[in-house]
């Protein structure tokens, strides 16, 4: 999907390998500000690797990644990109409270003393309120339900004031209330001009969640409207069926 101005996320011909394993193969993607984009692909398709490439958390074999017009490392230093990882990637036994987790989002805004100022504390409390976790703010993070944990990490991104927010399977194992709360928040963040890239296996929820969708199988097979992404032929290619057929083209996307 194309737009004007500097893309919020620009991935150009990115290849990532883990030893002999090809995780991404020339992936190309451009996302503009103010959108929620759903990322769809089967397990092992490279979704988590794409997130980590955008975050600068994995070395790129070839290609380039830009976030807000700069490198991922610069975006992380400025706090302009936030990441909500899969549940399995977090040590839930670590002795920190929900408020502590959300306050981590303010680290890049602190001065040289690294002491939170009134504005930082206010940002944390505002974020907790938006995800409806104020009453649980002093609870150890591992004591929360799956949905509440996800909401806490979304709150961290809100407190961080990130321009770009990446969510890796945020709806896996969450209750309906948390899912509805997260969807509402992501829509509100996009309306405020933020860019949200969210992976999900719940194709039925995609139309109410996302403005556009990306279909990934180590490279971007399709990038366009949610309705087109959900067409049976496109999904068949994405989930490993008929992979030798002619490549798909999507508006503003790339041919595989």
Q: What is the pLDDT of residue 2?
A: 40
Q: What is the pLDDT of residue 108?
A: 67
Q: How many CB atoms lie within 10 A of CB 118?
A: 7
72-115 pLDDT tens trace: 999 988 888 998 887 656 778 888 999 999 998 887 666 555 67
Residues of the chain with pLDDT under 70: 1-4, 87-89, 108-114, 241-256
213 in Cβ contact with 206 (< 8 Å): yes
Q: What is the pLDDT of residue 178?
A: 85
Look up residue 6 and give its two tokens. Answer: 């500097």
Output the CA torsion 152→80→12→54 (10° steps): -40
Residue extents of the structural domains in the chain: 9-238
130-140 pLDDT tens trace: 999 999 999 99
Q: How many CB atoms lie within 10 A of CB 165?
A: 26
Q: What is the pLDDT of residue 112?
A: 58
Q: How would you class 186 by CB atoms within 10 Å of its CB: exposed for 0-12, middle for 13-18, buried for 19 or more? A: buried
Q: How would you class 19 by CB atoms within 10 Å of its CB: exposed for 0-12, middle for 13-18, buried for 19 or more? A: exposed
Rounded to two decimals, what is the model's pTM?
0.85
Instruction: Classify domain 9-238 at the CATH topology level.
Output: Rossmann fold (3.40.50)
Q: What is the pLDDT of residue 120?
A: 87
Look up residue 103 and give its two tokens. Answer: 């306050």
C-alpha–C-alpha distance, residues 250 and 228, integer Å? 8
């Amino acid at each position: 999907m194309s737009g004007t101005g500097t893309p919020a996320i620009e991935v150009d011909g990115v290849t990532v390998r883990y030893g002999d394993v090809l995780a991404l193969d020339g992936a190309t993607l451009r996302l503009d500000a103010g959108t929620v984009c759903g990322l769809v692909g089967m397990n092992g398709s490279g979704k988590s690797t794409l997130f980590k490439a955008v975050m600068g958390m994995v070395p790129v074999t070839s290609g380039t990644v830009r976030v807000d017009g700069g490198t991922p490392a610069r975006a992380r230093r400025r706090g302009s990109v936030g990441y909500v990882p899969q549940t399995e990637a977090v040590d839930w036994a670590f002795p920190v409270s929900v408020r502590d987790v959300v306050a981590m989002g303010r680290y890049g805004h602190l001065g040289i003393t690294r002491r939170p100022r009134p504005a930082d504390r206010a940002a944390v409390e505002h974020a907790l309120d938006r995800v409806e976790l104020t009453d649980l703010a002093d609870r150890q993070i591992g004591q929360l339900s799956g949905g509440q944990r996800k909401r806490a990490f979304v709150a961290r991104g809100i407190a961080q004031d990130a321009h770009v927010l990446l969510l890796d399977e945020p709806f896996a194992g969450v209750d309906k209330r948390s899912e509805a709360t997260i969807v509402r928040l992501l829509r509100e963040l996009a309306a405020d001009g933020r860019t949200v890239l969210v992976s999900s296996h719940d194709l039925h929820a995609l139309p109410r969640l996302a403005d556009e969708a990306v279909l990934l199988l180590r490279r971007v097979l399709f990038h366009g409207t949610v309705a087109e992404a959900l067409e049976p032929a496109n999904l068949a290619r994405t989930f490993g069926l008929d992979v030798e057929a002619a490549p798909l083209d999507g508006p503003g996307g790339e041919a595989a």
